Amino acid sequence: MGKYERIKEFQVLGFNTPEILYIRRGALVDLRIVGEFFKDCERGSIRTYSDDESKNFKCPHYPNRQIPELMELFPKIVDQYHVMLAKPVDPNDTLWCGNLVVDPDGEEVYVEAIKGPGTVRDLDRRAHDLDRKMRVSWWRAQGEPWDIVIPEAVQFPRRGVVIEWSYYRVPVGMKKRQLIFWEYRPY
């Protein structure tokens, strides 16, 4: 299952996710469709992934860019990667972001997170700076954002996966909420 399908699984289950236009690798796309997707936006993002994510995990990511720049980049990368064009979510509005894993019985959650601004990808660059690395019984999660992030994340039925999330100072995503789930991947 590809990254897009995993995001769609979150959507189907009622979680807040980014607003995405998915384009399969190698697809011929009328740029007017892309323009229509971004018609009310000044900025947006491109997320990409390869057919074999285990070998090519860090694919290009262009967050919060001007639409003309995205329109120029898009045709250059669609032959190499699956592309997800996303409506704007500004990393400067991030309060917290991170990864979490819910243990198999759903009782404990393992979290690593950084304070914003930034993206989940910043965890790798700022690993020395982790603001929070913890194991917590989810019902004891206290204080923002933990009392929001953890109780919602444990509702996701898959266990043994890494869940990427961000918590913003402003509403974002399809459901216009502060908490957004980006994807999940194998642990």
> Does 162 lie in the same domain as 96?
yes
List, for residues 104-153, the tens digit of each pLDDT value. Answer: 877 788 888 888 788 888 776 666 565 555 555 554 556 778 889 988 99
Domain total in the chain: 2
> Does 70 lie in the same domain as 28?
yes
In Å, the largest CA–CA distance within the chain is: 50
Evaluate the CA torsion angle 56, 164, 185, 107 in order and state its sign.
Answer: positive
Task: Kindly state whether residue 7 falls inside one of the protein's structural domains.
Answer: no
Lowest mean pLDDT among 31-35, 88-92, 144-148, 178-182: 144-148
> Does 113 lie in the same domain as 78?
no
Q: Tokens standing for 158?
A: 């898959």
> Does 100 lie in the same domain as 69?
no
Lowest mean pLDDT among 83-87, 102-106, 175-179: 102-106
Tell me, what's the pLDDT at 110? 86
> Does 146 lie in the same domain as 95?
yes
Task: Kindly state whether residue 13 falls inside one of the protein's structural domains.
Answer: no
Tell me, what's the pLDDT at 53? 65
Going by C-alpha positions, the residue among 103, 64, 56, 112 that lies closest to residue 82 is: 56
Helix H or strand E segment including 143? none
Q: Domain end: 86, 103, 127, which one? A: 86
> Does 116 lie in the same domain as 70?
no
Task: Kindly state whether residue 121 falls inside one of the protein's structural domains.
Answer: yes
In this predicted structure, the answer to whether residue 173 has a pLDDT above a threshold of 90 is yes
| Domain enclosing residue 56, as ranges | 19-86
> Does 49 lie in the same domain as 25?
yes
Q: Domain end: 86, 110, 128, which one? A: 86
List, for residues 10-64, the tens digit of each pLDDT value. Answer: 999 999 999 999 999 999 988 899 999 999 999 999 999 988 766 666 788 899 9
Q: How far, in Å, are 74, 85, 96, 97 from residue 79 at the CA level? A: 9, 15, 34, 30
